[in-house]
Amino acid sequence: MKKRILCLFMVAQSAFLASQSVEIENVEKIAEVRALRNQTFMSQLKISSSDSSTFFTQYDAHLVDLRKVKRAFRKKWALKALPSLSEKEAKEYYQDALNLQNQEITIIDAYIQSVAKKWGWTTAIQVKTLEKEIQPQLLKKANDLKIQKKSKVKKK
């Protein structure tokens, strides 16, 4: 009986350690992808290394805000198909989509304004376009590294 309990404990511990190792690997992989993104931004937008921390701090912050409003919308309307909505729900959906658009515009506007203040409008108007351009590269990099699930890295 004691041996069985000990075996179960060891299996649980090994599973925990395995998950932890996966977490650690994911953290490293995501850090590589982030490094690629940052490098691309810096090279395309001609941002110095001294300003990169500030730039990417603002950039990541506006991504977090965008993600927050998008997730709120998804959480509310993801499970509902548009044809199945009632009149009231459809109206509410339209209002929420409109609000989401407005919120995204607000967030992006605030970010662009902040970037334009420090790095100029030429750099500011290229950020969102470059963001779309590097998405395939980031995706390819992430696929090559085979990022696993369940990797919520708390940013320091």
Partner 1 sequence: MNLERHKINSPYTVDADLMSEIAKKIQKQAGIEVCEIFEIQKPLVQNLKKSIKPIQLSVEFGSSYVAERPEDTYIAEEILKPDTSECTAFTPEFSEEIPVALQETVPTPLPLEMESTGRVETQNDIVQDRNVLDAEREAEMAFKRAQAAARYAALIEESKSPEIAISGIEPQPKSMSFPWTTVLGFVISFMAIASAWWVWQFIQKPLSVEQIATQAAQQQTAMVAPNQNTNETTNSESLSISDEDLNLIESIEEMRLWNTAMLTVPNFVDMDEQSKISMVQLEANAVHVLTLESHIFESFSL
Residues of this chain that interact with partner 1 (CB under 8 A) are 26, 30, 33-34, 37, 60, 63-64, 66-67, 70-71, 73-75, 77-83, 94, 97-98, 100-101, 104-105, 108, 112, 125, 127-129, 131-133, 135-136, 138-139, 142-143, 146-149, 151-153, 155
CB of 41 to partner 1, least distance (A): 11
CB of 2 to partner 1, least distance (A): 29
The total of other beta-carbon atoms located within 10 Å of residue 28's CB is: 13
Q: Which of residues 14 and 99 has its CB atom nearest to partner 1 in the complex?
A: 99
The secondary structure of 51-108 as a DSSP string is: HHHHHHHHHHHHHHHHHHHHHHHHHHHTT--GGG--HHHHHHHHHHHHHHHHHHHHHH
Q: Which of residues 4 and 132 has its CB atom nearest to partner 1 in the complex?
A: 132
CB of 152 to partner 1, least distance (A): 6
Q: Which of residues 49 and 83 has its CB atom nearest to partner 1 in the complex?
A: 83
Q: Which of residues 9 and 94 has its CB atom nearest to partner 1 in the complex?
A: 94
In 3D, which of 44, 49, 55, 53 has the Cα closest to residue 126? 44
CB of 57 to partner 1, least distance (A): 11
Query: Distances in Å between the alpha carbon of 9 and those of 3, 4, 18?
Result: 10, 9, 14
Query: Distances in Å between the alpha carbon of 18 and those of 12, 29, 121, 147, 150?
Result: 10, 16, 47, 15, 12
